[in-house]
Amino acid sequence: MTLTVASYNIHKGVGSDGRRSPQRILDVMDEIAADVVLLQEADTRFGVRRSVLSGEMLAACGWVAAPLGDHAALGWHGNAVLVRGAARLTHCAPIHLPALEPRGAVLADVMHGQMPLRLVGAHLDLSGLWRARQTRAMVAAIASAPGNPPELVMGDFNEWRGRGAALDELARHWREIRLPASFPARLPLGRLDRAFASHALDVADAGVHATALARAASDHLPIWVRLSA
């Protein structure tokens, strides 16, 4: 049995061509055939933080959203968790991060068959100083969460360098899954989207989803990790 988890900064549904099309985002997620998707920038940024993906659109594709947002938003500071098929949410919670601008992370525990998994999705600050503070807060929140399932941490970490204080903090607790560049989508140069996994997890495969549709649907390409039970 395998479980495929994707992480995708959907840029509020606005593609690299400047056109807003939430349906393209859902079509890319279907291409990946993921069981769980961690989204960043899933909600509008200002005013009433409305979800980019409507409940009707999600339901039509079989997605169930973790209850993290209010009546209008899908996620927490734009970070959302979607599951479908045999993947079942058992717990979810927002992670409060120190920030100058609205940033956050989310935690979700999932069962897939007999496979328990703790997922963390994050979108970190543009500032290296704040990223370091945010990763320390995130690690502390994960450590204090109930239970002890193996963890997979994914998201847009906004780090262009191969290392840095934020990535070093993550690497002290989990192993990084090496992935190609994912940003910008049309000509990827930066490894902004990353994944870190518990040593107990059996990572069967991982990659960046770089189809023609994905290059157009957002300014980031989605990343994915396939786990074996």
User: pLDDT at residue 48 above 70?
Assistant: no
Please write the tens of the pLDDT for every residue from 110-155: 999 988 999 999 999 988 889 999 999 999 999 999 999 999 999 9
CA dihedral over 182, 161, 7, 47, signed as positive or negative = negative
Q: Confidence class of residue 47 from pLDDT cuts 50, 70 and 90? A: low
Domain architecture of the chain: domains with CATH: 2-228 (3.60.10.10)
Please write the tens of the pLDDT for every residue from 57-91: 999 999 999 999 776 789 999 999 999 999 999 99
Predicted local distance difference test score (pLDDT) of residue 120 = 98
Please write the tens of the pLDDT for every residue from 184-193: 999 999 999 9
Predicted local distance difference test score (pLDDT) of residue 128 = 85
Give the Cα separation of 224 and 229 in Å (integer). Answer: 16
Put simply, whether the predicted model's pTM sits higher than 0.75 gets the answer yes
DSSP 43: B
Q: In terms of Cα–Cα distance, which of 136, 86, 123, 120 is closest to 198?
A: 120
Work out the end-to-end distance of the chain between its first and last CA atoms, rounded to an integer number of angstroms. 6
Of the CA atoms within 13 Å of residue 99, those in its CB half-sphere come to 17
Please write the tens of the pLDDT for every residue from 24-41: 999 999 999 999 999 999
Give the Cα separation of 32 and 20 in Å (integer). Answer: 20
